[in-house]
Structure 1
């Protein structure tokens, strides 16, 4: 049977990389003019514009006069666009961000005349285990990808890829890269090209992508196809090239019954293409910022804005969309990876700063507007505590208060005393500033007190406490330092003994000696990959000469350890075994009187080049695999991958190291014990001291790594040509990460691995608890508090709750409003089928409810019971979304 090579004209347009998006835009403008000319003249039948709409948005903003022409070609099916906003990374970007990326891309594509519903990711550095169900949630049942699939997992290019919830997509793996069709233009060897691309194909219909990075449109494609077809005919090779599209290719594949076994799981192997399985720690500062902003948008600002609509504040959809646009531009695979030039990374950082300022300002405005619209307090002043998560929270909270005197008490609405502890107290002055602070008006003095308290907060709502100032007392509430060098709560005790930390698990009776340390090693890699030097020198960083301070009371206790480490300045001094530069550090361990994890905050003033610092937790567990969370679930991975023995001999593009990605936690478990490390932005881990099937409980989180080049050739872990720009060394001094680097980690021990409980704990631990004190002493609690605002015309109650998620096995990934209706997205993160999952209880009257897909389009009407949305059953790892309209 004659085989067909489907020649698919396209471009892969990196949003930014060793160039900035601003520089690339100029070429894009002229490129798209040429593409439209080629389509209109008939030189090219159709053209795929890389599946992302952010570049189209930029083009039409720069050339609005081209909109009608552009849309006409889209409607005619010649210019193929969508469905992404940006070509997202899938392994370190939160699931809700991936959903928003597709939502925004599809919406823009449809507004321009039509969106290609194809999961097209030609260059993302790996494929997440959750993508089939995400695609299916948008009605997408086909995907095309390049990187991550090894023949050990699946030997063919075509097949179906499934999820644990039963979702599946038909896939096509372009193993030779999205640029392989360039040989059609630049070479004259049809036989060689045919033999290359037909390898591993089950079908007689084979993709031949004709395109490349920022590549021009090939206007001679028809003549080149004719020449190749003649050459194949002359050599009696049963093959024919046709000008085609992915839609046409899949249509041909669907008409064939191809024998195949369904592919399951993630794809993160570097056999046929580089996967950069250590890019997760490049520009760790950017990854931490992204993590913070994802949490703020989905689990703080959007729920808070939804709550505010109950009191007459309009939901600002386009404001949020614009914030999301900025953040999603940083999720393109190169942007998220951090494998960019310094000038590009500066622009990425600027976008993060814009999102940070806009989202924080919106959150602060809303809590102020709601709080200042509550009834006036005649005795004392009000402290309004908010909870933006859809379940009750009762955890220790840090709060700063402004009072005229140093002494005050807190009451709840019933008049009961609320206990608190003072961590810090500083005198401030709110009079006109003077050159000499001694000239400040003493009548304008007041005090800022940092306190901790624990008070139950209603689900997605708020409550009030009353602050009353009292006469100064000789008994201070301030927590003082003690001579003890241990901290404890009901579950754990951490001791500092001879420069080492000991963890005692009071519930289990286990003692872990020297459970926490740091490792410093050289990094001869680049912004894509960690790679050890040929003659590395690993240093175990101890705390022998540290200064120890303990701060603590009943509610919170901290050990603060600070000192200096002497480290090798660079790879040269490391090779010479010379430590010649000082880096100061501070390690703060905190235990609260609640069920939150042991918190580990590590700050290092990095002055060293070309190195990697990992935080090591040495546990007594004996495990051969790890489990880490993914966008909407988890993945289990071996510590030691069997291909490590002979990956070079087998021709793998990079070493299959046990370095893995995570979203927010990693777990080691045995039959009777579970250790979880949570993070706020750390995205990379590995388990150490493993060899073949040797078990280990030593888990290392990469705090940061420092390198000075965009790409380098011939790395130990990645032989061959340089990644990125292979023809030029591009220095990236900013990626040496000089300055203060801070990481926050949580540690929790359980009897068993329970992903829903862990994810909920992680949300409680990492999502802020906003608050607002109604006072005028300090007009700078946020940037705009100095300026007056009107209270709402509708009085806000002293406490309120919009809804409560009464389904402990499910996780809420987002809660927002769309067109006057509340949209809640829930998922089951476990492999267990959940019968009768529970309900969402509303404290307002429900008018109508429905189930919707990931694009918020209705699937089915749902019944409610006494203003509770009955959720029914959830399949393993299933995502479901619901839309609810409340009576006004």
Structure 2
């Protein structure tokens, strides 16, 4: 409840505040995130430590939060004093892995009591990867034992080819992507687009008739590709030149600054999702920076997720034709928020951006075929008057907010996926957000816990969905019983049957009590959200 209270307090302020209030909001979010992370670590530790011990073995617990069993790429850390190790499953079978990096750790970082008693033998932290079929909504325990250290993997290559994609890094920092399933090629993906922002914390405001600055054919990038056993990593580093700020007359200055950019693509060899990590060092003021993803799909509508499902929006607001004549206060541009995904589709395929960071987009291009994701808006005032798209009085107080210039380093986590429909995109979004978690148990720990009286199995599945057309939204324990509440939604335009292994009937659940006056045979209607009780 304290964590929820911290987050709810921040939401009361909105996004338009003084710098002092924004710093307080950030501090509360950081505290809430830290509490959540430590709580998750605690329960992972409790589960793993309650599994059967083996003399001379450490443990590695791997958790899958998808509602079905599937192969997952596991990237994790194993910490030990051994010069090398091997993994085995509960039946004693060896489990292969690839070693990506090794670093030495001071023992005081593991437990200060170790060095207190004069033991300075270092620990080794191993970064590893492995492909493993994990149980549905559950976990698997692997045992760790001393063995010979394998060779490091990760070799430079000039070719990036997977089951789904072929990628070519361009000299200007963009990427050409060929979707091997549809045979379509997308050129100049992940270019940057920069415009002046004469707005305030409430609204973006461009300059009249400004032509955006594009990184295409401008930057000179250093492109590197590393190939690991199950994944490629493409890194593109360059500097993007933009005007440093706006003048007092609200024009872009002739002074130019360089914005360092690092684009990293994580491309699994057997996955239809390209993970994106974009890091910039913002050195300019009064501008908006966006990441562009051309799709080749000329569109009149976009689709995006929100708190209640998927919403479709026009790429151009009809009110643009009459907003001035009717005396509106603000031009209705089609700049929209989204929650987890945004995409375009036609009759044959869909292209979508998934996010774990920025949540603002616009569909741009002459044919409205390009998804523009806002990287940052750099402004220095809470409220401002006489904007190009909002003439008249300031929307808020005319208060300087220098922190909102967003100077410094910023990292965005996104992903790109290509699919046959918006339904497949919703399923990809769940895979992207349901990241594999792990916990490495070893004999040394700064915080000691009492031995658990409960014994947990080495392999466990809470429940398994046999029909993957429904998307799992939320899982929680019932407040008053030992049952589990699971919420599913149907992103398609047809009815879909809920099929959980071992269940032939379901009990619907509302926020507070069982819905007793309504029968439910497992059929979920288009765009419907249902919550069911599961006995485990």
- Say whether the fold is shared (TM-score over 0.5): yes
- In structure 2, the partner of 1:329 is 9
- In structure 1, the partner of 2:113 is none
Change beyond 3 A, Cα 1:837–1:650: same
| Mapped contact 1:809–1:828 kept (Cα < 8 A) | no
1:649-664 matches, cutoff 5 A = 649-664=325-340
Shift of 1:495: 0.7
Residue number among 734, 739, 749 corresponding to 2:418 in the alignment: 749
Shift of 1:567: 2.4
Partner Cα separation in structure 1 for residue 490 and residue 523 of structure 2? 13
Residue number among 837, 849, 852 corresponding to 2:498 in the alignment: 837
- In structure 2, the partner of 1:558 is 233
Shift of 1:711: 1.0
Shift of 1:702: 0.6
| Mapped contact 1:485–1:548 kept (Cα < 8 A) | no
Residue number among 363, 387, 409 corresponding to 2:64 in the alignment: 387
Are 2:529 and 1:857 equivalent residues in the alignment?
no
1:405-420 matches, cutoff 5 A = 405-420=82-97
CA RMSD of aligned residues (A): 2.6
Shift of 1:370: 1.3
Are 2:207 and 1:538 equivalent residues in the alignment?
no
Partner Cα separation in structure 1 for residue 178 and residue 507 of structure 2? 49
1:312-461 matches, cutoff 5 A = 321-332=1-12, 334-335=13-14, 338-430=15-107, 444-461=121-138
Shift of 1:830: 2.7
Residue number among 468, 480, 499 corresponding to 1:819 in the alignment: 480
Q: Secondary structure at the match of 2:295?
A: strand
Partner Cα separation in structure 1 for residue 320 and residue 384 of structure 2? 22
- TM-superposition CA deviations, 1:156-181 (whole Å, max 9, x none): xxxxxxxxxxxxxxxxxxxxxxxxxx
Are 2:531 and 1:874 equivalent residues in the alignment?
no
Are 2:260 and 1:600 equivalent residues in the alignment?
no
- In structure 1, the partner of 2:201 is 527
| Mapped contact 1:665–1:679 kept (Cα < 8 A) | yes
| Number of residue pairs the alignment of both structures matches | 525
Shift of 1:730: 0.9
- In structure 2, the partner of 1:700 is 372
Change beyond 3 A, Cα 1:443–1:671: same
Q: Secondary structure at the match of 1:731?
A: coil
Are 2:479 and 1:479 equivalent residues in the alignment?
no
- TM-superposition CA deviations, 1:448-492 (whole Å, max 9, x none): 11112121221222111222332356xx13323x1x344231100
Change beyond 3 A, Cα 1:830–1:770: closer
- In structure 2, the partner of 1:501 is 175
Partner Cα separation in structure 2 for residue 417 and residue 346 of structure 1? 50
Q: Secondary structure at the match of 2:292?
A: strand
Change beyond 3 A, Cα 1:557–1:796: same
Q: Secondary structure at the match of 2:22?
A: helix
Shift of 1:579: 4.4
Change beyond 3 A, Cα 1:835–1:696: closer
Partner Cα separation in structure 2 for residue 432 and residue 418 of structure 1? 29
Partner Cα separation in structure 1 for residue 389 and residue 201 of structure 2? 13
Partner Cα separation in structure 2 for residue 884 and residue 427 of structure 1? 45
| Mapped contact 1:518–1:616 kept (Cα < 8 A) | yes
Greater relative contact order: 1 or 2 (C-alpha under 8 angstroms, separation 6 or more)?
2
- TM-superposition CA deviations, 1:185-215 (whole Å, max 9, x none): xxxxxxxxxxxxxxxxxxxxxxxxxxxxxxx
- In structure 2, the partner of 1:569 is 244
- In structure 1, the partner of 2:354 is 678
Q: Secondary structure at the match of 1:477?
A: coil
Are 2:462 and 1:802 equivalent residues in the alignment?
yes
Change beyond 3 A, Cα 1:535–1:731: farther
Partner Cα separation in structure 2 for residue 807 and residue 631 of structure 1? 23
Choose 802-811 or 485-494, whichever is displaced more.
802-811
Are 2:399 and 1:730 equivalent residues in the alignment?
yes
Shift of 1:849: 6.6
- TM-superposition CA deviations, 1:382-438 (whole Å, max 9, x none): 1111123433342212101113344332222333333322222112231599xxxxx
Q: Secondary structure at the match of 1:820?
A: coil
Shift of 1:584: 1.6
| Mapped contact 1:522–1:537 kept (Cα < 8 A) | no
TM-score (norm 1): 0.56
Change beyond 3 A, Cα 1:530–1:830: same
Shift of 1:494: 0.9
1:281-292 matches, cutoff 5 A = none
Change beyond 3 A, Cα 1:548–1:469: farther
Q: Secondary structure at the match of 2:4?
A: helix
- In structure 2, the partner of 1:591 is 267
Partner Cα separation in structure 2 for residue 805 and residue 871 of structure 1? 15
Q: Secondary structure at the match of 1:792?
A: coil
1:51-450 matches, cutoff 5 A = 321-332=1-12, 334-335=13-14, 338-430=15-107, 444-450=121-127
| Mapped contact 1:403–1:469 kept (Cα < 8 A) | no
Change beyond 3 A, Cα 1:718–1:408: same
- TM-superposition CA deviations, 1:513-571 (whole Å, max 9, x none): 22220111111111111111346452112474222222222301101112323322211
Identify unmatched segments of 5+ residues in structure 2: 111-117
Partner Cα separation in structure 2 for residue 885 and residue 861 of structure 1? 20
- TM-superposition CA deviations, 1:568-595 (whole Å, max 9, x none): 2211299355243232221101101232
Are 2:500 and 1:828 equivalent residues in the alignment?
no
Shift of 1:493: 1.3
Partner Cα separation in structure 2 for residue 564 and residue 517 of structure 1? 12
Q: Secondary structure at the match of 2:27?
A: helix
| Mapped contact 1:479–1:551 kept (Cα < 8 A) | yes
Partner Cα separation in structure 2 for residue 826 and residue 369 of structure 1? 26
Change beyond 3 A, Cα 1:406–1:616: farther
Partner Cα separation in structure 1 for residue 425 and residue 228 of structure 2? 27
- In structure 2, the partner of 1:293 is none
| Mapped contact 1:634–1:829 kept (Cα < 8 A) | no
Partner Cα separation in structure 2 for residue 815 and residue 420 of structure 1? 31
| Mapped contact 1:402–1:447 kept (Cα < 8 A) | yes
| Mapped contact 2:219–2:240 kept (Cα < 8 A) | no
Partner Cα separation in structure 1 for residue 256 and residue 83 of structure 2? 47
Change beyond 3 A, Cα 1:487–1:828: same
Q: Secondary structure at the match of 2:298?
A: strand
Are 2:434 and 1:767 equivalent residues in the alignment?
yes
TM-score (norm 2): 0.91
- In structure 1, the partner of 2:447 is 787
Q: Secondary structure at the match of 1:598?
A: strand
Q: Secondary structure at the match of 2:425?
A: helix
Q: Secondary structure at the match of 1:575?
A: coil
Partner Cα separation in structure 1 for residue 149 and residue 9 of structure 2? 54
Are 2:381 and 1:721 equivalent residues in the alignment?
no
